[in-house]
């Protein structure tokens, strides 16, 4: 086949251009380190890389948010630890106040110490995280979720707890459940002595012996002392029914009925009684306030013992609430570690996916480059050699 002279030059040049552009695009890949520099290089891979990038930035965002949440929960946990210490101190003071050698003045001192601790506890409950968000705001609150007034402490927030998700923790705890949800007495009923009692009778906080038998009624246990023998009657004041009568009283022994029991100490006077009422809602601060009031104002004697027993029982319940919230916070912090490591794993995996989609395999890239380079070199050489060949060179 004969070849058009001009066309062979054109074609050779065209091929040189092509090889040059191959070389330059391979060079671009090598310098950018990417196999896919624009979507058309590999539309699927570039979409994969783009989606991976979106996921990576989302994981980064979530990790950053988790950092803030973890911070808040860590602060909440340590705040609850502080609260535990304060309540423990208060409890010690309550126990101290029962010291038989103390007079009213000593008790007033103790009460004032307790007031100080109580105020500290109040400020602890209102603590905020680094962003100024209350740690115990529940599902949303004002800047200070707890306010102190003459009527008592109120919770200015929305009670409830956010759940944690696969990638996030709640950043606030339920202040209502932790601080504002302490029932009075032992949680089921409260034993109190009427002010008219004259004997030395006092009781412990009592306990539930059979939850199924509970009635939720109020009771009065009335003591009768006749001829040196002390007996008691139990009257259901809600229904006015007498449940038991003429029972012999032995000090330090349990008096039990309708699923409840309590232990009475000391000798009652004739006509003395113990009133049992169902528990009412109270809160950590009110429990302490009540203890302070009763210790401060108590003249001593059985009324004080009774108050101390009640206060201890209620302070312990408060402590339980706070401890269990601390446990919850600890759980969340564990969870945060797990989320964090899962997310890091995901992030690495996504990076790998992105890199697999769009990054250049350097070894292959360099090998390809030298292949293309060799090809280009050969093309240039052959071009130079072939164009020397002409019949005219041989005509003289």
Partner 1 sequence: MGSILNIGARALVANELALQTAGNNIANVNTPGYSRQSVILQAVPGQFSANGYFGKGVEVATVQRAHSEYLTNQAIISGSVSAADSKRLDQLKQLEDIFQGGSTGLGAAVSDMLNSFSDIVGAPSDLTARSVVLTRADEMAARFRDSSTRMDDLRLGVRNALQDAVIAVNTLAGRIAVTNQEVARAFGTGQSPNDLLDQRDHLITELNKYVQTTSIEATDGTLGIFVGGSQPLVLGKVATPLSISSDEFGDPAKSKLVMQRGTATNVIEEATLGGGSITGLLRFQNSDLIDAKNLLGRMTLAIGTTINDQHKLGLDLSGAPGGDLFRVNALPDGLASDTNTGAATIQVAIQTTPTSGATTMAASNYIINFTGAGVGNITRESDGQITAFAASPIAVDGLSISITGAAAAGDRFLVTPFSDASSTFSTTFSTPRALAIANPVSASAGATNQGTLALDSLVARSVPAPAAITISFTAPGTYTRSDTGATTYTYTPGQAIEYDLLSPGSSGWTLKLKGSALAGDTYTVQPNAFPRLSAGNAEAMMALRDVPMFDGATLTDGYASAMSEIGVRVQSAGFAADVSQSIATNMEKERTSVSGVNLDEEAAKLIQFQQSYQASAKMMQIAQGLFETLSQVLG
Comparing CB distances to partner 1, the nearer of 2 and 338 is 2
Pick the piece of the chain touching partner 1 (CB under 8 A) from 8-16, 86-94, 192-200, 268-276.
Answer: 8-16
Pick the piece of the chain touching partner 1 (CB under 8 A) from 4-12, 111-119, 257-265, 308-316.
Answer: 4-12
Among 21, 24, 25, 57, binds partner 1 (CB under 8 A): 57
Comparing CB distances to partner 1, the nearer of 181 and 203 is 181
Q: Does 65 bind partner 1 (CB under 8 A)?
A: yes
User: What is d(CA 223, CA 201) in angstroms, rounded to the nearest whole number?
Assistant: 10
Q: Contact, 243 vs 235, CB < 8 A? A: yes
Pick the piece of the chain touching partner 1 (CB under 8 A) from 2-10, 224-232, 239-247, 252-260.
Answer: 2-10
User: What is d(CA 231, CA 267) in angstroms, rounded to the nearest whole number?
Assistant: 11
Q: Contact, 317 vs 23, CB < 8 A? A: no
Task: Report strand pairing: 202-203 vs 260-265.
Answer: antiparallel
Q: Does 282 bind partner 1 (CB under 8 A)?
A: no
Going by the DSSP 8-state scheme, the letter that residue 23 receives in this structure is: H
* Site pattern 250..269 for partner 1 (x: CB under 8 A): --------------------
Q: Contact, 280 vs 293, CB < 8 A? A: no
Burial 352-389 (b: 16+ CB within 10 A, else e): ebbeebbbbeeeebeebbeebeeebeebeeeeeeeeee
* Site pattern 317..356 for partner 1 (x: CB under 8 A): ----------------------------------------
Q: Does 160 bind partner 1 (CB under 8 A)?
A: yes
Q: Contact, 359 vs 45, CB < 8 A? A: no
Comparing CB distances to partner 1, the nearer of 38 and 371 is 38
Q: Both tokens of residue 41?
A: 């290089």
Comparing CB distances to partner 1, the nearer of 229 and 281 is 281
Among 241, 281, 362, 366, binds partner 1 (CB under 8 A): 281
Return the number of other C-beta atoms located less than 10 Å from residue 263's C-beta.
18
Q: Does 185 bind partner 1 (CB under 8 A)?
A: no
Q: Using CB under 8 A, count the residues that bind partner 1.
A: 65
Comparing CB distances to partner 1, the nearer of 132 and 299 is 132
Among 68, 243, 254, 256, binds partner 1 (CB under 8 A): 68
Q: Shortest distance, CB of residue 64 to partner 1, whole angstroms? A: 7
User: What is d(CA 390, CA 20) in angstroms, rounded to the nearest whole number?
Assistant: 27
The CA distances from residue 143 to 149, 159, 175, 276, in Å, are: 17, 15, 13, 40
Q: Contact, 318 vs 182, CB < 8 A? A: yes
CB proximity list for 308: less than 8 A, separation 6 or greater: 94, 95, 97, 98, 291, 295
Q: Shortest distance, CB of residue 131 to partner 1, whole angstroms? A: 4
* Site pattern 20..39 for partner 1 (x: CB under 8 A): ------------------xx
What is the separation, in whole angstroms, between the first and last Cα of the chain? Answer: 27
Among 30, 53, 104, 108, binds partner 1 (CB under 8 A): 53
Q: Does 387 bind partner 1 (CB under 8 A)?
A: no
Name the one residue in this structure whose structure tokens are 């029962």: 98
Among residues 125, 140, 126, the alpha carbon closest in space to that of 171 is found at 140
Site for partner 1, residues 357 to 386, rule: CB under 8 A = none
Q: Does 277 bind partner 1 (CB under 8 A)?
A: no
Query: Where along the sequence are the contacts to partner 1 (CB under 8 A)?
Result: 1-7, 10-11, 14, 38-44, 46-47, 49-51, 53-54, 57-58, 60-62, 64-65, 68-69, 131-134, 137-143, 156-163, 165, 170-171, 174, 176-177, 180-181, 281, 390-392, 395
């Amino acid at each position: 086949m004969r070849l058009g002279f001009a066309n062979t030059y054109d074609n050779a040049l065209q091929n040189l251009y092509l090889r040059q552009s191959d070389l330059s695009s391979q060079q671009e890949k090598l310098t950018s380190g990417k196999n896919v520099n624009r979507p058309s290089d590999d539309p699927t891979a570039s979409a994969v890389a783009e989606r991976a990038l979106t996921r990576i930035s989302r994981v980064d965002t979530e990790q950053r948010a988790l950092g803030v949440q973890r911070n808040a929960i860590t602060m909440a946990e340590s705040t609850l630890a502080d609260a535990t210490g304060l309540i423990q101190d208060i409890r010690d003071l309550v126990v101290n106040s029962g010291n038989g050698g103390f007079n009213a003045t000593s008790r007033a001192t103790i009460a004032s110490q307790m007031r100080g601790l109580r105020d500290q506890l109040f400020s602890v409950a209102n603590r905020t995280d680094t962003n100024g968000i209350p740690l115990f705001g529940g599902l949303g609150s004002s800047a200070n979720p707890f306010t102190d007034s003459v009527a008592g402490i109120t919770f200015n927030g929305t009670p409830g707890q956010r759940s944690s998700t696969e990638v996030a923790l709640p950043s606030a705890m339920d202040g209502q459940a932790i601080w504002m949800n302490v029932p009075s007495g032992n949680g089921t009923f409260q034993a109190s002595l009427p002010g008219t009692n004259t004997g030395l009778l006092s009781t412990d906080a009592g306990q539930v012996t059979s939850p199924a038998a509970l009635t939720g009624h109020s009771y009065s246990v009335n003591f009768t002392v006749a001829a040196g023998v002390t007996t008691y009657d139990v009257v259901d004041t809600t229904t006015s029914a007498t449940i038991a009568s003429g029972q012999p009283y032995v000090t330090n022994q349990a008096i039990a009925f309708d699923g409840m029991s309590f232990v009475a100490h000391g000798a009652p006077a004739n006509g003395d009684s113990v009133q049992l009422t169902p528990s009412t809602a109270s809160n950590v601060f009110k429990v302490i306030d009540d203890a302070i009031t009763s210790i401060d104002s108590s003249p001593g004697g059985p009324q004080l013992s009774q108050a101390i027993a009640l206060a201890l029982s209620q302070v312990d319940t408060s402590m339980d609430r706070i401890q269990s919230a601390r446990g919850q916070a600890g759980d969340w912090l564990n969870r945060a570690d797990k989320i964090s490591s899962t997310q890091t794993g995901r992030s690495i995996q996504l990076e790998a996916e992105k890199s697999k989609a769009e990054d250049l395999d350097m070894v292959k890239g360099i090998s390809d480059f030298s292949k293309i380079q060799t090809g280009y070199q050969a093309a240039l050489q052959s071009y130079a050699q072939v164009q020397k060949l002409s019949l005219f060179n041989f005509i003289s």
